[in-house]
Amino acid sequence: MSIEVERKFVCNANRLKILEEIGACAGQFQFQDRYFDTPQFDLTLKDVWLRQRKGCWELKCPTITDKEAEETQGEPSKAAMLCTRYKEITDLTDIRLKLKEVLKDTGDKFSMTECCQTLTDHHGLAEMNCVSEECWTSAMNLVCFAEFTTVRRTFTLEEDGVHVDLDETDFGYAVGEIEVLVSEGGDMQAALDKIERTAKKLGVTGDQVVGGKMSVYLQRNYPAHYARLLSQHIL
């Protein structure tokens, strides 16, 4: 399982020009994201983000809690504060196990085990993954609360393992992100350094954290929930 380390930035004409000079455009493509949560937002209030992208399930979870980070590493550096780190789980069985763990104290009574067992008996596991979306999401009381489409241009850079995405959403928000993947137990500091160097090359300076697509979507469509996420320092 890998950890995605990312820094978002606003891409202006000057930064785009530099990016085209120092990176190679690896293509442009379009995808739709559908985000799911319980009606009480039990997942996102724990900083857990479940989505379907291009028909595949993905779960982003915090790597460690803020308290653990403080205990193990002291105060985070400025470079670390400007980046996000999330574990990304893409295996559906692992996703459901994690969701079960995250939702266990929420009071929602779900019967995923029985539901999935019945489907496994009737259809086999592989087929269950395709057939039973409605079943397992509704058994866990998960509903789609956000849906948007993104056009993405991806650039690979000379700096090993760094890539930059430029995203434009169908709700009119554009954002860039510098991303490095770190394998679990891998060198996090090296990833932060690579991101910092790339940001400098692009002229991305300053201490301001730039909002991601989903943050801006929530701000516009679910202002009360957005305010709650801000007040709990999740966004």
SS3 assignment, position 135: helix
For ligand V4E, the binding residue among 16, 32, 52, 60 (CB under 6 A) is 60
Least distance in angstroms from the C-beta of 21 to ligand V4E: 23
Candidate segments 124-132, 140-148, 187-195, 209-217, binder of ligand V4E by CB under 6 A: 209-217
Stretch that binds ligand V4E, among 126-134, 155-163, 200-208, 212-220 (CB under 6 A): 212-220
Q: Contact between 198 and ligand V4E (CB under 6 A)?
A: no
Distance CA 119, CA 113 (A): 10
For ligand V4E, the closer of residues 56 and 126 by Cβ is 56
Tokens encoding 26:
């690896």
In the bound state with ligand V4E, the residue whose beta carbon lies nearer, of 142 and 235, is 235
DSSP per residue, 158-219: SSTTEEEEEEEETTS-EEEEEEEEEETTS-HHHHHHHHHHHHHHTT--SSPPPP-HHHHHHH
Instruction: State which of residues 84, 129, 132, 198 lies at the interface with ligand V4E (CB under 6 A).
Output: 84
Q: Any contact of residue 36 with ligand V4E (CB under 6 A)?
A: no
235 counts as binding ligand V4E under rule CB under 6 A: yes
Give min distance, CB of 130 to ligand V4E, in A. 23
Stretch that binds ligand V4E, among 17-25, 108-116, 134-142, 205-213 (CB under 6 A): 205-213
> How near is the Cβ of 119 to ligand V4E at its closest, in Å?
28
Distances from the Cα of 179 to the Cα of 35, 57, 212, angstroms: 21, 20, 13
Residue type, 2: S
Where in 85-104 is the site for ligand V4E (CB under 6 A)?
86
Q: Is 155 in the site for ligand V4E (CB under 6 A)?
A: no
Among 49, 148, 155, 173, binds ligand V4E (CB under 6 A): 49
- Per the CB < 8 A criterion, the answer to whether 9 and 176 are in contact is yes
Kindly tell me which of 43 and 119 has the beta carbon lying closer to ligand V4E.
Answer: 43
Distance CA 180, CA 161 (A): 6
Q: Tell me if 162 sits within 8 A of 191, measured CB to CB.
A: no
Residue 176 touches ligand V4E, criterion: CB under 6 A: no
Neighbours of 69 (CB within 10 A): 16
Shortest CA distance to 10 belongs to which of 168, 226, 219, 229?
Answer: 168
DSSP 79-131: HHHT-EEEEEE--HHHHHHHHHHHHTTS-----HHHHHHHHHHHH-HHHHHHH
The residues binding ligand V4E (CB under 6 A) are 4, 6, 8, 49, 60, 84, 86, 177, 179, 209, 211-215, 235
